Structure 1
């Protein structure tokens, strides 16, 4: 626990540091977005002001065309008079450059500037308090030159309100980002700490420890936790299997080794060596070697990548070859061995030798445990999920309580204790099925037993 306590603050600082870094990045991006929004708004408002002056100039052109010089001069004077505190300014110049009407007392130097401070503008009367300058525009109205100006106070008020809103929004985004970032960082840290603590407990020997997960969670840490729990479960099963294998080897190999030792001692102490004793010793040795070879083959299948040898094979052909080999043995035992396969090919992806071994073990197991007069059927068919293989017999069957244990190494039911064998045939069959991604099950045939193997596509 001390080690975990030392890791906790450092990891917490890491999560906070990452949260601050991301919050800073988010703040910079938000500032850029807000600055662009401010600039774009300013541009649009100024363009709106210029559009308004352009529209007013178009209206005065229409008035001049309809009413002539007098109506144009009257309308410009009227616009200048109704302009509150000179928020709008007008000047109408004739072809000689003389002022005809408007609220500007002097002319401008050429070229006309786009913007002029209010203090530099020749105005008669008061100027609006919030006006700091004017945007100017010149348009031709018949023989006259119309100069218009619009104060910037409206634009400044809009930009001031927008700026305040953006500043407040930016501060809210930064503060909320920091709070949410630190909160998420701490939640993530607690979940990472739970994973770390679970792995530490497993390393200390507590193989039952698991990471708590939420079924509805779909984030990365939940998926990682689920995979780690699955891995720990598999490790626990493998270690339990290893322990069971060790116990089974010690239990099942003790008797034949003791018998072999007794025979060898008898041969050592006997003045004469009988051929029967030598043959029995050799048979006992062969039985032990066969057991270890079977264990080695299971380990090779489970531990090596045999999938490199996989190919596409016809399951019907494998069935025909295996049943042909076992027909003499079945006939000698008084057992009827038959097959039932479809006319088309049943293609299976796998290792041909291992598939042959799988079927051979199941057929041999059925022949060995069925009395004379029994029937053994090897059936194959194609389903939507993939090819299915069944080996059925009408023999004595397997006790219900033994069906979950028959695939364990060295397991032998009470009915098979006195028959030859080492209890590894079905374990080897299960290992081959697992390698091929197939599911093997055992069920009652009433009477007898059915082994079913489903190869998934």
Structure 2
């Protein structure tokens, strides 16, 4: 069984193992990758824009200077280059003859052979008035003038390199900040999640230790942990109900079955002691068998209730007509009702009266209610059995005109082996309504005991089934 380590180092390891921390780190990596890609694109695009601007400026200057050469010849070109080279922030200029000898310009040195090939290039150069080392870099364009003269115009890329440096530093600091904030955020989120998970773990430990009344804390913010806690609490509540029911059944079996077992033993002992003829012994054995059959029916009822509460019977559900089931039960109990002086009335309304469930179990539930109504309905009364469809629900009810059940005892009679004092004169063990309640819960319905004035009305509400299956 996986447990959480409560030591400081263990808690840190638990923090790193949490799904929240891993998801936060994953989101951090995705965000950092996107941020790096965005910054990289901005840097590349800015550099390209600067390069395009410098190339456009160079081409414009070459066009202007070549026009000067066409109009005034070499003398005018040299004068124009000298004037422009002396301006602040000037471009780079160089004019050479056909042999590559420098005539005028603000470039002191170039790589060997560069001036020979016309076209655009990016190369190192040395400025006038400085050392002859090629410690600067520029974008240059070389243009061949009539007469073999070479015209070089360029722009220093220092500004572009400075922009790249700024973007690079921003790049590094942004990534560092994102990583720090991401790790802190992941730690904060994961620690909060881990704190709630630790609280849930401690609660589950107490529950496993025997505290079945313990429940998981719900923060109330509606997140996934709250939903998990609510579902687990509902499950624990249901388990608690089953455990309480199991304890009640054990207690009730110990008390309510003690009398018939004692009576069974006494009959057998009396038969052995006093039976003087085969007929007397046979009569005693028949009484023993009758008592045994009653006990078997009790245990069968308990097994059926346990099976219904386990919900395995849903696997056999099918669509059937509830009206036909009600009619069949009424026909079965009509002779018995007549013997007790009771009129049995059946009412069915709505079409179709279909239900998806177990035909046998619903029939058993209705039969139990009709049987109780016959037992406790009183003489010269009426038993009304109805099945009515309203929208998407089916309402089954069995009403009698007997003494009814006090309102303060209606919740208690649904428990197993519970019998009111007024009912102890009738045969039974107090399992009929418990079985009906289990059938209703299996079909995800509700059971209500209502005042019929006089008498009792047991109302079952079930979700209607689709006639198409």
For this structure pair, what is the TM-score category when the shorter chain's length is used for normalisation? 0.7 to 0.9
Which residue of 1 is the match for residue 267 of structure 2?
A: 263
Matched, 1:399 2:406: yes
2:343 aligned partner: 336
Q: 2:467 maps to which residue?
A: none
Shift of 1:353: 1.0
Contact 1:53–1:137 (Cα < 8 Å) also in 2: no
- Structure 1 stretches lacking a partner, 5+ long: none
Residue 378 (structure 1) aligned with residue 378 (structure 2): no
Q: Give per-residue Cα distances to partners, 1:147-175, cap 9 Å, x unaligned.
A: 43222222222223222323222222222
Q: How do 1:409-428 and structure 2 match up within 5 A? A: 409-428=416-435
For 1:134 and 1:189, the matched residues in 2 are separated by 58
How many Å apart are 1:411 and its aligned residue? 1.0
1:72-127 CA distances to partner (integer Å, 9 max, x unpaired)?
Answer: 9587665544342x5x22457899999897644787132656321233xxx43579
User: What is the rounded CA distance, in whole Å, between the counterparts of 2:433 and 2:150 in structure 1?
Assistant: 107
Partners in 1 of 2:177 and 2:255 — Cα distance? 73
Report the TM-score when normalising by structure 1. 0.84
TM-score (norm 2): 0.82
8 Å Cα contact 1:8-1:193 kept in structure 2? no
CA deviations on 1:236-287 (whole Å, 9 max, x unpaired) are 2111110000111111111111112222221111042525544433322221
Aligned length: 446
**Contact 2:94 2:103 (C-alpha < 8 Å) held by counterparts:** yes
Change (3 A) 1:386 1:82: farther
Provide closer, same or farther for how the CA distance between residues 5 and 136 of structure 1 changes in structure 2, counting only shifts above 3 A. Answer: closer
1:135 aligns with 2:139: yes
2:13 aligns with 14
Kept in 1: contact 2:389–2:395 (CA 8 A): yes
Q: CA deviation at 1:377?
A: 1.7
Between 1:166-175 and 1:36-45, the stretch displaced more is: 36-45
Matched ranges for 1:99-248 at <5 A: 103-104=106-107, 108-110=115-117, 112=119, 114-119=121-126, 123-125=127-129, 132-137=136-141, 147-219=152-224, 221-248=225-252
In structure 2, what is the equivalent of residue 351 of structure 1? 358
Question: 1:323 & 1:303 partners in 2: Cα distance?
Answer: 29
Match of 1:44?
A: 45
Alpha-carbon displacement from aligned partner over 1:316-370 (angstroms, at most 9, x marks no partner): 1111211111111122211121122125222211111111111111121222210
1:12, distance to aligned residue in structure 2 (A): 0.9
Q: 1:79 to 1:382 in 2, by over 3 A?
A: farther
346-355 vs 387-396, which moves further: 387-396
User: Distance in 2 between the 1:454 and 1:139 partners?
Assistant: 97
Identify unmatched segments of 5+ residues in structure 2: 465-469
Q: What secondary structure is seen at the aligned counterpart in 2 of 1:389?
A: strand
**Matched residue SS, 2:414:** coil
RMSD: 3.5
Could you tell me how far 1:142 is from its partner in structure 2?
11
From 361, 382, 393, the equivalent of 2:368 is: 361
Q: 1:21 to 1:12 in 2, by over 3 A?
A: same
Retained in 1: the 8 A contact 2:355–2:463?
no
**Corresponding position: 1:82 with 2:104:** no
1:429-451 Cα shifts (integer Å, max 9, x gaps): 11111111122122222222222
Q: CA deviation at 1:401?
A: 1.2
